[in-house]
Structure formats: structure tokens, C-alpha cells
Structure 1
Amino acid sequence: MAAAARARFHRLRVTAVDRLTDDSVALTFAVPEELREAYRYTPGQHLALRRTTVASGTHGGAAGAGAAEASDGAEIRRTYSICSPAPAGEAPHALRVGVRLVDGGAFSTYAHKEIAVGDELEVMTPAGRFTLDPAPGHYAAVVGGSGITPVLSIATTLLEREPQARFCLIRSDRTTASTMFLEEVADLKDRYPDRFQLVTVLSREEQQAGLASGRLDEERLAALLPALLAMDSVAGWFLCGPLGLVQSAERALRGLGVSRARIHEEIFHVDDGPAPARTPLASTPAHSTVTAQLDGRSGTWPVQDGESLLETVLRNRADAPYACKGGVCGTCRAFLVSGSIRMDRNFALEPEETEAGYVLACQSHPTTEKVELDFDR
């Protein structure tokens, strides 16, 4: 599985830029033969794109998202899920991701206005654990907006490889015109009419048939889901999109008796600002150090006041893995070998991962004088 190896960046050539909607595009990258094994992926994984900004108005490097204005020479990273199905039995020749324009987004604006066929971008090898290895069974997803991207790869790969598998997709979008991968999802319905169930909800547009418009909140989902599916028959639920939708869907499922082990989540949009901590608050020692194992080499460094453990490691090891720095993508996941930490926010790790000792380095602050992390586990 691709996530087992530590992620690295390589330059890949753009072979297609397809406009999906007025505010979204799909980028396709060619994978050279010598890198195909490195880019083998499991459906649902994502790629981090990296861009180093250059002088204003010039056409430069690749990747990331952040503030609307980035100073020259700043490194920006942004993660985008792979939307193409994973090839069976071979490594991919191409990779395709969907990019939705974010208001003020440094990379998404660059992708929409500047990236062209023939450009080379810095692309990290696949990462992420919001995945499904194709297997017989009944699966379902609740997605909002660009949350369709990884689920499109999951559903397409599953239906292509497993004749005994079924998939139900409940998707929420603002309008038909803003719906990403509309044709690709319609094609799944045409190819697998007996095994693919599609339910579309539009929040700002009335449909001639189907469900009434409006948001998919917890109350609505709690009534809708058991009317669509035999809840006990669904082997896995995949929730992806904005934080509010994912949380509403999880609460609805738990209220309907679905075990946490059958629910998989990936957050695509989290508002800036403080978020509830997933670990108890604790004071930070006046002086503390972090020891980090990374790519087989270890080092120990002092943690400066206010720094996350990732920031400390990055000051000394520029190759430390990260993408969003917001507690969302999970790229900086590390195993806590010793010591204790406080995580400011966690929207990436499953409960079983934190219980096993994994933390997000970008959100972790020491609460003991010595902390040891292992990025290689």
C-alpha cells in the first residue's frame, strides 16, 4: 500500500487541465515509468502539491494553498484527493485530482488561472487513510461539494473490481452547475444501474424530481438514511466534505446504531480559528526537547516557545512530512514513543489511531520536558 512508504516529492508533467464547473478543474499528471511504483495508491488517497512562489506576475513552480497573498519565495502546500480509479494489478500511468477554487486560495487560484498542459508540478507520493481496499459488500457515502473527489475513486474502483459489491452515494451540492464530476457519476449510474445508487440533494436549487432542496443536517439524515438503506447491511460508511456535514452525518449514523468502526471520515474544509482540542489541555514546560526519528535518522532539538513539534523538527529537518498544517490531512502523523503532548485540533486521525499512540505533529505541543516521535512507523 502506498501509504506505508514515507511520502516524497517528484516533478510530474501536467497532461490535461479539464474545467469541471466555473470554480473547479481536474488536473491530470503523467507518471514516468521509473516512478510508477512510488505512486501506486489505494482508492481514497490524496496527493500534496507544492509550490514555491516567485516574483509577482510570473508563472512558477507548483502546489499548496493558503492565504491569497504569499510572499515571494514562500513554500505553499495543498492536498487534493485522487479522483481516478486505482488500476488493478499495476501501478498508475496517470493521476487525476480535482481542484475547487477557494476564495483567496493561493494554490487554487494559481491552478485555475495559470497551470497549463506541459507544466511540471511538485507532487508528493500518495498518502492518507480514508481508503477502501475493494471487497464484496455494501458500502455507502455521504459527501458534500468537493468531498466527492476521493469517493469517486473509491466507488469506481470498487464497482469495477468487485461484481458482488454495491455502493450508495448521497451527495450534497449547492446547484447542478456547481456539481463536480457530474458526468463521471452519471456514467457510474449508467454502467452499474443495479449496484450503484445515487441520491442528490441541492441546497440552493429545486429539482424536478427527487429530494427537496435544503441542507443535509443531522435531523434530515437520520430520517433519510434508513429510508434508503438497510443500515445493518452497510459494511462501511465514507463521510467527506465540510466539517459541519461530516459531523452531522456521523451523529446521525451513531444515533441509528452504526458502530464507530464502520464510519470513515475525511474533512475537506475547516474554518480558521480555534477548534476544540481532542486531548485534555495541559501546561507547556518552560524548557522541552523533541527527539524525532525520520527516514532512519534521529535528532534531538529544543522546542521554542509556542512552536508545534512539527515546526521544531522542520527547523532542523526540512524533509519532515507535512501538507496542510491544519490538522486535516494527516500527512504529519507520527508515533509518540515517549513523553506526552497536547493536540490543538485533530480532524485526520481516527480514534483507534490516537489510542494506539499516533499524533499529528503539526498540532502537537509538549507537556513534558522530553518528547520522542517516530515518523517512520
Structure 2
Amino acid sequence: MARFHPLQVAAVDRLTDDSVALTFAVPPALREDYRHSPGQHLALRRTVDGTEVRRTYSICSAAPAPDGEGPDTLRVGVRLVEGGAFSAYALKEIAVGDELDVMTPAGRFTLEPAAGLYAAVVGGSGITPVLSIAATLLAREPQARFCLVRSDRTTASTMFLEEVADLKDRFPERFQLVTVLSREEQQAGLPSGRLDEERLSALLPALLPVQSVAGWFLCGPFGLVQSAERTLRGLGVPRARIHEEIFHVDDGTTAGPSIPAPVHSTVTARLDGRGGTWPVQDGESLLETVLRNRADAPYACKGGVCGTCRAFLVSGEVRMDRNFALEPEETDAGYVLACQSHPVTETVELDFDR
């Protein structure tokens, strides 16, 4: 089970005018707890005016070797979100020496290093998990190559410029970088403009053999990720090779079908080896029901994006409002997002431990 631990801030590095990288020191006793796969994220927690606020941020540092010790530090990237309760605090107030509640790593937007050609299309802060994926892959697997297509507004707004440049210097024959700026002309390279479906359909086949790529990693705003997925499917890439993580979703972008809820519903949930059964109040999600009775239920964003609240649907039927975290094979296998799930049958059983 994912758990929070207080970790000390070891470094605060300004990346751009509106983004920082936070480095946390991991004490020896917790290093195995914070062992992570490349591409996973951390949930950070604070209390604002008596209300608990959680936000997830992807780990940008390379993952530890499987046969070595767990990490002694963890680094995440944080970009300012207008009106953000946590990002503004991170940029303006967090200082070295502060302690923050940090959840153990979670997420399935990951790549275990293996030989082959891999590629990513990212926008803005979507570089964060892909930086960890690429750095880990190239360092561990000498027969791997990685192509990164990144989109940003301007050079000044581009996160992790130095870290990506370091990958180019260390792996010049195996790391390919293509940068597209939407609001600034470059002296060399591609013309400015958004990476829409039309541009991607022309660009990607010119860069690499699209159908020979072992894994595509799409990360960033909803529009870019959807455009990239449609492009790849149109170019014949199997859905199983496409992995997505959405960072920004406008409310109301996608909603599940309207299915009348039963008058009285109960949810039975197994969590950390213990179970319980509770009535579902009118309009609340299954996660909200469980949280009223088990404060240790896992969650972070509550927006259907991070996947922290993933649970296995043992029995019953639910309606999910939206899903931007689970892959099709996960939903086909019976997994749901508890934060987006509402009961359709009178009884529903969830297992958070699977």
C-alpha cells in the first residue's frame, strides 16, 4: 500500500520563471519504500485552511538499479498552475530544510529497460516522467535508442533544458531530440507552431520507422496526447505500444454515459488486508464512501488522471465519469478508478490490494 512519510527538501532548483525542481532526501530506512520504476510519480500533501490538498508530480530522476539500493534522493518537477493551491506554494514558499509529506511512488506510465527503439511525444511539463524513462533506459541498456519529440511555448519556458542536453552529450548515437516551439522561431530546426495531428503525421515518419518503435510514450496536455495517439493509430501503431499520461484536462472534457444509480447502494472494500461494507451516499464516488470510513484509502488527484486510486472491481457494476489513467487492458481486466466510479448495482465490491 502507498503511504506518506515526511521527507526533507534537499534542494530547490529554479527551472524557468514558472517551474522548479524539488529534491527530497530519502533516509536509509525508507529507501526501499521509495524504490521506483522510471516514469512513476509522487503525491505531495499539505493542509490549506483545514483542508487536505494532494497533488501528484512525476519523478524526473533516473530509477535505481534493481540489484542496488533504493534511491537516496528523489527529484520532481513542479510547474505553476494558475490558482494552484500546491504549485504556487512550491514555487514561492518551499525552502531547503522544509519537511513535506510524500507518498511512496505510484503509477503505471513506466518502461522497464530493454533493447530496442523507443520514442516519446511530450508537451510542457510532460517531459518530467519521460526524462526519467529516457535517462534510465539509455544508462542501463546499451542496445536501446530513444527519440524525444518535445513541444514547448518558448525556449525560456522549457523545463529541464540542461538535463536533456546532458543526455545528448552522453548518448549522442542513441538519443535523438526534436524540439518544436509554438510561440518562438528557432534559428535551426522545425518552424514554430503547435504539434497538431497534421504536423505529427508528416513529422514522425520522417524521423524514424514508426511501426518499428517498441513503445511510444505520450505525455502532456490532453489535446497533444490525443492528437499524437490518433496520429500513431493512423500510421498503423498497435494500441498496446502506446502509453499515455495526461497532465492537464479541462473539466467536462469526457464523461461517462448517464446510468441511473440504484436507490440504495453499498460498497465493500478491501484495503491493506482489511475489509468493510458501507452505504454509498447520494452522488458521492466510491472513493468518497471509502474515505469516510477509511482515511488511509489511496488517492491523489481525484480527477481521473493519476491512477493512484485504482482498484479491482470484484463484483457489481460501476459507471466511471472519466478515465485518463488506466490503459484499455487494465479496464478490460476489471480495474476502475475509485474516484470516478459510481455504483450502478445495489452492491459493489472493490479490492485496493490487487
Interval containing the TM-score (normalised by the shorter chain): over 0.9
- Aligned partner letter, 1:43: P
What is the CA–CA distance in structure 1 between the aligned matches of 2:299 and 2:198, rounded to whole Å? 36
| CA deviation map 1:39-71 (0-9, x unaligned) | 000000000000012xxxxxxxxxxxxxxxxxx
Q: Does 1:142 align with 2:137?
A: no
Structure-2 residue corresponding to 1:64:
none
Structure-2 residue corresponding to 1:38:
33
Which 4+ stretches in 1 moved above 3 angstroms?
A: none
Structure-2 residue corresponding to 1:114:
93
What is the CA–CA distance in structure 1 between the aligned matches of 2:254 and 2:30, rounded to whole Å? 40
Partner SS for 1:51: strand
Does the 8 A contact of 1:172 with 1:201 survive in 2? yes
Structure-2 residue corresponding to 1:276:
254
Alignment match of 1:124 (pick from 103, 116, 126):
103
What is the CA–CA distance in structure 2 between the aligned matches of 1:294 and 1:221, rounded to whole Å? 43
- Aligned partner letter, 1:213: S
Structure-2 residue corresponding to 1:203:
182
User: % of aligned pairs identical?
Assistant: 85
What is the CA–CA distance in structure 1 between the aligned matches of 2:85 and 2:74, rounded to whole Å? 22
| CA deviation map 1:329-376 (0-9, x unaligned) | 000000000000000000000000000000000000000000000000
- Aligned partner letter, 1:7: A
| CA deviation map 1:47-96 (0-9, x unaligned) | 0000012xxxxxxxxxxxxxxxxxx1110000000000012222100000
Partner SS for 2:86: helix
Q: Does 1:7 align with 2:2?
A: yes
What is the CA–CA distance in structure 2 between the aligned matches of 1:253 and 1:275, rounded to whole Å? 22
Structure-2 residue corresponding to 1:316:
293
- Once the two structures are TM-superposed, the CA of residue 187 in structure 1 deviates from its matched residue by 0.8
Does the 8 A contact of 1:308 with 1:361 survive in 2? yes
Structure-1 residue corresponding to 2:319:
342
| CA deviation map 1:3-23 (0-9, x unaligned) | xxx110000000000000000
Alignment match of 2:70 (pick from 81, 91, 95):
91
Partner SS for 1:219: helix
What is the CA–CA distance in structure 2 between the aligned matches of 1:159 and 1:90, rounded to whole Å? 20
What is the CA–CA distance in structure 2 between the aligned matches of 1:282 and 1:306, rounded to whole Å? 12
Q: Does 1:24 align with 2:19?
A: yes
| CA deviation map 1:314-338 (0-9, x unaligned) | 0000000000000000000000000
Structure-1 residue corresponding to 2:305:
328
- Once the two structures are TM-superposed, the CA of residue 275 in structure 1 deviates from its matched residue by 3.2
- Aligned partner letter, 2:26: V
Structure-2 residue corresponding to 1:250:
229
Structure-1 residue corresponding to 2:204:
225
What is the CA–CA distance in structure 1 between the aligned matches of 2:238 and 2:176, rounded to whole Å? 22
Q: Name structure 1 gaps, 5 residues minimum.
A: 1-5, 54-71
Structure-1 residue corresponding to 2:140:
161
What is the CA–CA distance in structure 2 between the aligned matches of 1:159 and 1:345, rounded to whole Å? 35
- Once the two structures are TM-superposed, the CA of residue 233 in structure 1 deviates from its matched residue by 1.9
Aligned positions, number: 352
Structure-1 residue corresponding to 2:44:
49
What is the CA–CA distance in structure 2 between the aligned matches of 1:320 and 1:228, rounded to whole Å? 44
- Once the two structures are TM-superposed, the CA of residue 271 in structure 1 deviates from its matched residue by 1.1
- Once the two structures are TM-superposed, the CA of residue 231 in structure 1 deviates from its matched residue by 1.4
What is the CA–CA distance in structure 1 between the aligned matches of 2:268 and 2:128, rounded to whole Å? 37
Structure-2 residue corresponding to 1:216:
195
* Alpha-carbon RMSD: 0.7
Structure-1 residue corresponding to 2:79:
100
- Once the two structures are TM-superposed, the CA of residue 282 in structure 1 deviates from its matched residue by 1.6
| CA deviation map 1:110-131 (0-9, x unaligned) | 0011100000000000000000
- Aligned partner letter, 2:164: V
Partner SS for 1:140: strand
Structure-1 residue corresponding to 2:263:
286
Partner SS for 1:106: coil
- Once the two structures are TM-superposed, the CA of residue 185 in structure 1 deviates from its matched residue by 0.3
Structure-2 residue corresponding to 1:304:
281
Does the 8 A contact of 1:275 with 1:344 survive in 2? no
Worse-superposed segment, 209-218 or 87-96: 87-96
Does the 8 A contact of 2:211 with 2:235 survive in 1? no
- Aligned partner letter, 1:241: G
- Once the two structures are TM-superposed, the CA of residue 276 in structure 1 deviates from its matched residue by 2.3
Normalising by the residue count of structure 2, what TM-score does the alignment of the two structures yield?
Answer: 0.99
- Aligned partner letter, 1:242: P
* Aligned pairs (5 A) from 1:182-193: 182-193=161-172
